[in-house]
């Protein structure tokens, strides 16, 4: 680790090198640096070679053959006039060869160490292929499970997203980006993409500035504070200005307020798409708007390459502005040490310790699964008491579908499926009867149902593997109906008729609707898409080698009509109470309009979500007690020490995520009814009590007020601790003038 003096000295040296290099560059070479070009997997075309040799490319994306990457770097270093190396970008989102749970699953671990380790291993594997830049983490706050990209997010909460952003970035970028196994991170998609209207991808977003700052921007700020090298703009239109031309986001916030020194890359063709949005009439104007807003590098489309030089000649864009854009990119190349070591040692391919990577994949998958239901403690299963198990469903033995979205390079041959892992874990005397039942989760025939019923009838218990295949979530894969696709509900109905106990394991990229399903099964383990080691992780949980410890990073609605539904909502002026809610079936004909308490609820559905944020069962039980604050009145700048006891009152050794929430009772802008402000994952033996403490500084209570400034206001707060956002162990404190 360097001292701050060394860092300052080094950055002055780098700035001098950048200035010297820029002085030697022609306008065309400068514009070349701004261009990020898609490669043609594994091929080096004559024209690509020539363009690199001419200094007209700043980076490539989607090339993973280390020999090809090295040859392109060699051309850049040796054949181009100024020898500037290339950025080599790739979507390494939840693993490279070894696949970890989808980000929403990683988020369910509430374990920053594990998330950091996933980033570290991803970087190690990807850098062996010559990749020096990942397009991750995705930090879009997601409150809408219809949106396919919720799978790529850390969920609905700014605090959890901030903590996990810092963790994964430190994993990707390591201690020193110049190390050969470190890669640059890219915080994306800046900003507000998660608020796409109707949960439909690429859709318009309208987010008031206060909400933008208090919710959507926070994870980005945390990512930049953690040193993220780059930021990617969003495809979406924010309050009327597409993000790739949004001066408020890119100049005002990113550069003026946050002093970001890294570079901004557009999303795929999002600059040329400014014309499709109807913001600009043509590519030349699109290039003007994006450059003027501060997008440094253009991904795939060529508006900069084709028009920036003319815009400079016409003096609409100054050469100084181009120099700033180029220097932002060169700074990253220096930080990555690419001028010194542009080539990747080819014997690094496949290096690392694959078994350690698999172990980490298993651990993260184990911790990502959330136990939603466990009637009569049916789980964990006892190997001894079961002579036969039916394993049923299209996701029980599918090495590909368990991997999830964004697995371009994922090695499906490494995948270990639940079926094989269950077979490996049970005693020889236990018979496993497998039936896929449906070809895919979307199948609409009942062809396999007969066989599924047959194997169910001859088994003691049924483990069903249902949900969504990988391709049903992720980019451009949104759904308006969040029921299990295809005939899966019918399959559950048929199997339930056998009267046998049913354990339902769901793999999915988003929260699905489970209100009816949960009545028909005995247990639900929500596994998201767990990645390479899905099988051993799930088998360990089912058979009690580990207790589930995942907690939900998003609220599960009861019906699509409740969306957006999230725990940190505002109170409204008329919040519902148990007494004020009336049910549609209870309304007598002729009842006057104001018969209810006129509060905020739906007539036709419960007001609460099905499962709240932070929820997740364990095989054990936990008691929170003796909540104490070291003081109840603090001044701005001070902090409170919070202490409480956490006791494992159950029969199993298990991990619990202790969560800390607050509510600011009165604010100059309305404040959420609850906000997460801390969490700790703790392992406790049966009967063990741990004393847990949190330190809550008033900085954590600051919010953006009426004039968009971060403020800490005096006033009263409630504070809760518990294993879920729906918790009632509460205390009060006050910030005084």
The bridge status of strand 502-507 relative to strand 461-467 is parallel
**Residue (38 or 275) nearer to ligand BGC, CB:** 38
**Residue (89 or 722) nearer to ligand BGC, CB:** 89
Of residues 90-119, which lie at the interface with ligand BGC (CB under 6 A)?
A: 91
The bridge status of strand 710-711 relative to strand 703-704 is antiparallel
Distance CA 380, CA 372 (A): 13
Active-site residue, 310 included: no
Q: Closest Cα partner for 664 from 728, 599, 712?
A: 712
* From candidates 156, 267, 289, 373, binder to ligand BGC by CB under 6 A: 267
- Least distance to ligand BGC, CB of residue 134, Å: 9
296 is an interface residue for ligand BGC by CB under 6 A:
no
- Least distance to ligand BGC, CB of residue 72, Å: 18
Task: Evaluate whether 437 touches 394 at the Cβ level (below 8 Å).
Answer: yes
- Least distance to ligand BGC, CB of residue 33, Å: 19
**Residue (29 or 475) nearer to ligand BGC, CB:** 475
Distance CA 98, CA 103 (A): 14
147 is an interface residue for ligand BGC by CB under 6 A:
no
188 is an interface residue for ligand BGC by CB under 6 A:
yes
Task: Evaluate whether 293 touches 286 at the Cβ level (below 8 Å).
Answer: no
Q: List helix spans (H) across 497-592.
A: 517-520, 534-542
**Residue (235 or 304) nearer to ligand BGC, CB:** 235
**Residue (267 or 546) nearer to ligand BGC, CB:** 267
- Least distance to ligand BGC, CB of residue 133, Å: 10
- Least distance to ligand BGC, CB of residue 301, Å: 12
Scored b (16 or more CB within 10 A) or e, 532-563 reads: bbbbbbbbbbbbbebbbbbbbbbbbbbebebb
**Residue (91 or 298) nearer to ligand BGC, CB:** 91
**Residue (187 or 517) nearer to ligand BGC, CB:** 187
Listed in sequence order, the residues at least 6 apart from 45 whose beta carbon sits closer than 8 Å to its beta carbon are none
Q: What is the maximum alpha-carbon separation in the chain?
A: 85
- Least distance to ligand BGC, CB of residue 39, Å: 12
The radius of gyration of the chain's CA atoms, rounded to the nearest angstrom, is 27
**Residue (474 or 501) nearer to ligand BGC, CB:** 474
**Residue (237 or 267) nearer to ligand BGC, CB:** 267
Structure tokens at 635: 């001044």
Burial grade of 257 (CB within 10 A; 0-12, 13-18, 19 or more): middle
- Least distance to ligand BGC, CB of residue 684, Å: 39
CA atoms within 13 A on the CB side of 316: 16
- Least distance to ligand BGC, CB of residue 203, Å: 13
H/E run at residue 417: none
Distance CA 457, CA 216 (A): 50
Q: What is the 3-state secondary structure (H, E, C) of 42-60?
A: CCCCHHHHHHHHCCCCCEE
Return the axis-axis angle of helices 283-293 and 303-313, rounded to nearest 10°.
Answer: 80
277 is an interface residue for ligand BGC by CB under 6 A:
no
Scored b (16 or more CB within 10 A) or e, 138-174 reads: bbbbbbbbbbbbbbbbbbbbbbbbbbbbbbbbbbbbb
Structure tokens at 337: 């040490």
- Least distance to ligand BGC, CB of residue 147, Å: 12
**Residue (91 or 373) nearer to ligand BGC, CB:** 91
**Residue (300 or 349) nearer to ligand BGC, CB:** 300
- Least distance to ligand BGC, CB of residue 491, Å: 34
135 is an interface residue for ligand BGC by CB under 6 A:
yes
Distance CA 243, CA 142 (A): 17
Please tell me the count of residues contacting ligand BGC according to CB under 6 A: 6
Q: What 3-state class would DSSP assign to 479? A: coil
H/E run at residue 507: strand 502-507
Long-range CB contact pairs, 680-683, < 8 A, 24+: 681/109, 681/110, 681/111, 681/549, 681/655, 681/656, 681/657, 682/646, 682/655, 682/656, 682/657, 682/658, 683/653, 683/654, 683/655
Catalytic residue among 267, 397, 398, 664: 267
Nearest residue to ligand BGC by CB is: 135
**DSSP for 285-306?**
HHHHHHHHHT--BEES--HHHH
- Least distance to ligand BGC, CB of residue 529, Å: 17
* Separation in Å, CA 415 to CA 63, 165, 405, 472, 525: 23, 26, 15, 20, 20
What does residue 229 show for φ and ψ, rounded to 5 degrees?
-80, -30
Q: List helix spans (H) across 278-433.
A: 283-293, 303-313, 319-335, 354-368, 418-425
Burial grade of 298 (CB within 10 A; 0-12, 13-18, 19 or more): buried
- Least distance to ligand BGC, CB of residue 572, Å: 34
**Residue (233 or 363) nearer to ligand BGC, CB:** 233
Task: Evaluate whether 526 touches 372 at the Cβ level (below 8 Å).
Answer: yes
- Least distance to ligand BGC, CB of residue 722, Å: 35
Task: Evaluate whether 168 touches 137 at the Cβ level (below 8 Å).
Answer: yes
Q: How far apart are the first and last CA of the chain?
A: 40
**Residue (91 or 540) nearer to ligand BGC, CB:** 91
* From candidates 100, 110, 268, 619, binder to ligand BGC by CB under 6 A: 268
Of residues 470-509, which lie at the interface with ligand BGC (CB under 6 A)?
A: 475
Catalytic residues: 267
Residues that bind ligand BGC (CB under 6 A): 91, 135, 188, 267-268, 475
């Amino acid at each position: 680790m360097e001292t701050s003096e060394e860092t300052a000295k080094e950055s002055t040296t780098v700035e001098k090198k950048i200035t010297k290099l820029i002085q030697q560059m022609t306008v065309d070479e400068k514009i070349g640096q701004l261009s990020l070009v898609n490669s043609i997997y594994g091929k080096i075309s004559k024209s690509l070679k020539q363009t690199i040799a001419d200094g007209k490319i700043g980076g490539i994306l989607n090339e993973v053959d280390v020999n090809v990457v090295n040859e392109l770097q060699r051309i850049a270093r040796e054949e181009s006039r100024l020898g500037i190396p290339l950025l080599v970008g790739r979507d390494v989102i939840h693993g490279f060869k070894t696949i970890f749970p989808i980000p929403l699953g990683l988020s369910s671990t509430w374990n920053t160490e594990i998330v950091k380790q996933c980033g570290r291993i991803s970087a190690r594997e990807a850098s062996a292929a010559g990749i020096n830049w990942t397009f991750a983490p995705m930090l879009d706050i997601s409150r809408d499970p219809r949106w396919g990209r919720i799978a790529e997010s850390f969920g609905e909460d700014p605090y959890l997203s901030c903590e996990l952003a810092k963790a994964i970035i430190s994993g990707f970028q390591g201690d020193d980006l110049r190390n050969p196994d470190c890669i640059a991170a890219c915080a994306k998609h800046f900003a507000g993409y998660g608020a796409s209207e109707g949960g439909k991808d690429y859709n318009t977003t309208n987010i008031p500035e206060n909400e933008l700052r208090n919710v959507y921007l926070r994870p980005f700020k945390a990512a930049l504070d953690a040193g993220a090298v780059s930021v990617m703009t969003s495809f979406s239109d924010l309050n009327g200005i597409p993000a790739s031309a949004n001066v408020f986001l890119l100049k005002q916030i990113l550069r003026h307020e946050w002093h970001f020194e890294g570079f901004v890359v557009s999303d795929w063709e999002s600059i040329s798409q400014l014309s499709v949005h109807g913001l600009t009439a043509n590519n030349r104007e699109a290039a003007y708007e994006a450059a003027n807003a501060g997008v440094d590098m253009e991904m795939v489309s060529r508006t900069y390459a084709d028009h920036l030089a003319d815009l400079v000649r016409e003096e609409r864009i100054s050469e100084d502005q181009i120099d700033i854009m180029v220097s932002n990119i060169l700074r990253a190349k220096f930080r990555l040490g690419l001028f010194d070591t542009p080539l990747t040692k080819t014997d690094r391919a496949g290096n690392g310790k694959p078994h350690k990577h698999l172990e980490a994949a298993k651990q993260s998958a184990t911790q990502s699964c959330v136990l939603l239901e466990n009637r009569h403690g049916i789980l964990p299963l006892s190997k001894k008491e079961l002579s036969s198990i039916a394993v049923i469903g299209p996701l029980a033995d599918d090495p590909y579908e368990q991997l999830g979205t964004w697995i371009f390079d994922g090695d499906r041959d490494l995948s270990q499926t639940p079926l094989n892992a269950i077979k490996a874990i049970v005693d020889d005397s236990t018979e496993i009867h497998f039936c896929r039942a449906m070809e895919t989760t979307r199948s609409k025939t009942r062809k396999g149902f007969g066989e599924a019923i047959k194997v169910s009838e001859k088994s003691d218990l049924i483990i069903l593997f249902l949900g969504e295949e990988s391709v049903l979530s992720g980019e451009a894969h949104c759904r308006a109906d969040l029921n299990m696709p295809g005939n899966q509900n019918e399959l559950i109905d048929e199997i339930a008729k056998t009267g046998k106990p049913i354990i339902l394991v769901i793999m999915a990229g988003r929260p699905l609707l489970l209100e009816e399903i949960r009545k028909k099964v005995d247990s639900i383990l929500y596994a998201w898409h767990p990645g390479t080691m899905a099988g051993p992780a799930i088998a360990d949980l089912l058979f009690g080698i580990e207790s589930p410890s995942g907690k939900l990073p998003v609220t599960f609605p009861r019906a699509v009509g409740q969306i957006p539904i999230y725990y940190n909502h505002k109170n409204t002026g008329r919040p519902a109470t148990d007494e004020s809610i009336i049910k549609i079936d209870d309304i007598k004909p002729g009842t006057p309009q104001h018969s209810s308490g006129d509060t905020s609820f739906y007539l036709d559905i419960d007001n609460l979500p099905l499962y709240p944020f932070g929820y997740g069962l364990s095989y054990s039980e936990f008691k929170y007690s003796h909540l104490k604050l070291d003081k109840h009145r603090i001044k701005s700048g001070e902090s409170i020490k919070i202490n409480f006891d956490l006791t494992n009152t159950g029969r199993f050794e298990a991990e619990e995520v202790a969560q800390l929430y607050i509510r600011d009772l009165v604010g100059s802008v309305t404040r959420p009814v609850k906000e997460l402000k801390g969490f700790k994952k703790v392992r406790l033996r049966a009967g063990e009590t741990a004393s847990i403490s949190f330190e809550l500084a008033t900085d954590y209570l600051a919010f953006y007020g009426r004039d968009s400034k971060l403020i800490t206001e005096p006033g009263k707060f409630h504070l809760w601790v518990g294993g879920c956002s729906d918790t009632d162990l509460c205390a009060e404190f006050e910030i005084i003038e």
